[in-house]
Amino acid sequence: MNLIIIIVLSLIMVVMAVTAIIHKKLAVAVIATGVVSLMASVMYLLMAAPDVAMTEAAIGSGLSTIIFFYVLNKIRKAK
């Protein structure tokens, strides 16, 4: 069971990471990185590291997405 979850989630992570690199819209890239952090957090939990999972969920998926969108907002205003 754990192995299946790890394989599926890591496949999704790889696909999302490639999307974040090659997609033209910045907002889509930011959401894709958020998904990568989300899946990484579940995988840390599977590897019995709840502290790291909590940090990844709070910083990687939450705060960095928020700050990225604030910055995108500022860039849009500058144009």
Residues of this chain that interact with another protein (CB under 8 A) are 1-2, 4-5, 8-9, 12, 15-16, 19, 25, 27-28, 31, 34-35, 38-39, 41-42, 45-46, 48, 50-51, 53-55, 57-59, 61-63, 65-67, 69-74, 76-78
Contact indicator for 2, 48 with CB cutoff of 8 Å: no
Closest CB to another protein among residues 4, 21? 4
Compute CA distances 32 → 46, 51, 55, 58, 76, whole Å: 21, 23, 18, 16, 20
Nearest approach, Cβ of 21 to another protein (angstroms)?
14
